[in-house]
A and B are shown apart, each in its own frame.
Chain A
């Protein structure tokens, strides 16, 4: 069997139909869309088509609200920095403790630059407290940036409602929706969301292409200045092949929307239920009642995630973990810590993220393999004795220096 790829929140395979749509733009359609001659003209039309395909997926009112960028991170940075530049009198940002580093690292930098950043906390299931949010919104708030769906747990935030509240306070609202786009039906024209980030490679388009949705009328200051590309809002010659690819991928995502929310969700649910039934001391993190249809994040207590991934990889199964070791940092996932998951479980979290290419046979295989891997590692764990955790595990093993 070919490898089983259950790490689609990290990145997805490029759909063969997407590759096919892109290929002519490497060869015969190589022109610069800005050129007057016929070499460029057809490329310009292809970009126009892609823009409309993305517009449709996002439910945007105008195709000119779609700005092509190089990635989700560029879209995030552009959005936040623009909001601050455009409203110099407002010095505060509201975001959450569980955002992607594309937002959190930028916010840490902006704090050094003198901005005040408020981080909304989450509860044990990764949910926000909207009362806390309402209290923080003020005339000082330049922008609110809250992710649509969490990349680790898949948990949704009520961004549509939060955008209304921001709008009422005169603040801009941005959402990093890289995990949600293509999996959640969107109708941005009926929302107060001002800016939204998309990443192509999360929805079967290639890496290196992203979108910033910018609602018409939202004050904007470009990150990259130069040529007139993207109506002067993102200078730099267009990544034509990838834009065409993203257009095709957006069209296909729209067609597969129901499938993602029924069949993919069914496979995910089957996988999760079977693992929880077979593996003692394991639990789902985040909010299983309100999350992406493809994501399941399971904590396996008393073992460490990187070791789980290495063993899964031996069986050809790809997933990811919130352990410190997988990222080379000194702390487990900030998302798990924010939800108050204890260290002995946070390091052992594994994220399975499916796609519309995942099959029942793959799910069955993972269900068969995971319990023995977990048992094998627990045999090595100082917190584990025989068939269960040591009595009072935290006391049974309390190593020096913490």
Chain B
């Protein structure tokens, strides 16, 4: 059974704004029947103000698809079209207190339905530019198509490269066989063969960031998470930065906490997003991160 948040369950069991909206003037039909998730979003827009007066949905799909649709309609009602278009798939997932990695595409579908419905209202043609592949990396929810495209565009030739460029494989590492298979396939297209053990490409230094700026940025991220840790009676301090490895000290209640590994993974994720590069966070006192497992 999926680990759905209470919010997802609530929106699934009591979906808001379900069913046909009779006087809709913007309709978006998106999804894939082969994947088993498809959504019709219906908007009633006030022409003078571009305000969404009402939004309804009909969904063929699983629990999280229905919950994402329901959440989306709640989020956009009362907004102008331009405001509504700023709603990202991450916003939808956040509204639902998160989605399992396999289900993130449900929130993507919601976002696309919105684009399609707005385009329909404005008399434009919306075309989808997104293709979804089989989920390879469950830790970071990266699919095969993204990995393939990235390997092709950057002429990558090692698993480490793929991890550096896409994050795929940077967590529990169980998907490395799958990544190697994709590498072998794409490299064969350009007449090369995949050799395990090929060193990663020289990592380009993040543009425009000096070491000092980088460390300041890291500290800023740690500052951001500190209140949360303090609330639980713990704290974190930066010990050292050595290339892609960031050493930290977990103190107070955080040290040795059962959730330490998870906490660190969360911080690592935030750091990667802020620094826009792949880094590894290492606790200096105990090997907490190595205990981290990837439960999708």
A interface residue numbers (CB < 8 A to B): 302-307, 310-311, 313-314, 323-326, 328-332, 343-344, 347, 379-383, 397-402
In B1-17, the 8 Å CB interface with A consists of: 1, 9, 12-13, 15
- Consensus secondary structure, chain B interface: mixed
A401:B60 contact, CB within 8 angstroms: no
Contact A401 B29 (CB under 8 A): no
How many whole Å from B69's CB to the nearest CB in chain A?
8
Q: Hey, which chain A residues are within 8 Å of B34, CB to CB?
A: 324, 330-332, 343, 402
Q: A347 contacts B36, CB within 8 Å?
A: yes
Instruction: In the complex, identify which listed stretch (B88-96, B127-135, B247-255) lies at the interface while the others stay far away.
Output: B127-135
Q: Given the complex of chains A and B, what is the CA–CA distance between A324 and B130 in angstroms?
A: 19
Known A330-B132, A398-B29, A399-B31; judge A382-B63 contact (CB<8 A). no
User: Quick check: B60 and A329 within 8 Å, CB to CB?
Assistant: no
CA distance A401 to B30 in the complex (A): 7
Q: Is the CB of B60 within 8 A of A379?
A: no
Given A382-B60, A399-B31, A401-B30; A325-B15 close (CB under 8 Å): no
Does the CB pair B32–A325 fall under 8 Å? no
Residue of B15, B29, B33 touching A380 (CB-CB under 8 A):
B15
Q: Do B36 and A400 touch (CB < 8 A)?
A: no
For the complex, is B59 an interface residue (Cβ under 8 Å from A)? yes
Contact A330 B127 (CB under 8 A): no
Q: Please, how many angstroms separate the alpha-carbon atoms of A331 and B134 in the complex?
A: 9
Knowing A307-B12, A314-B13, A400-B127, say if A380 contacts B35 (CB, 8 Å): no
Q: Other than the known A306-B63, A323-B36, what 16 A-B pairs have Cβ atoms closer than 8 Å? A: A303-B60, A304-B36, A304-B60, A305-B62, A325-B61, A328-B135, A328-B296, A343-B36, A379-B18, A380-B57, A380-B59, A380-B66, A382-B58, A399-B32, A400-B112, A402-B33
- Residues of chain B whose beta carbon lies under 8 Å from any beta carbon of chain A: 1, 9, 12-13, 15, 18-19, 29-40, 57-66, 102-103, 112, 116, 126-128, 130-135, 296
Judge whether B35 and A330 touch: CB under 8 Å: yes
CB atoms of B29 and A399 under 8 A apart = yes
A226 to chain B, nearest CB (A): 26
Q: Is the CB of B40 within 8 A of A304?
A: no
Q: Are A401 and B128 in contact (CB under 8 A)?
A: yes
Q: How far is the CA of A306 from the CA of B131 in the complex (A)?
A: 23
A390, chain B: closest CB distance, angstroms? 10
B184 to chain A, nearest CB (A): 10
Q: Decide: A380 near B62, CB < 8 A? Known: A399-B31, A401-B130.
A: no
The reply to whether B128 and A400 form a contact with Cβ atoms under 8 Å apart is yes
Q: Are B62 and A325 in contact (CB under 8 A)?
A: yes
Given contacts A330-B35, A343-B34, contact A383 B128 (CB under 8 A): no
Q: How far is the CA of A402 from the CA of B60 in the complex (A)?
A: 14
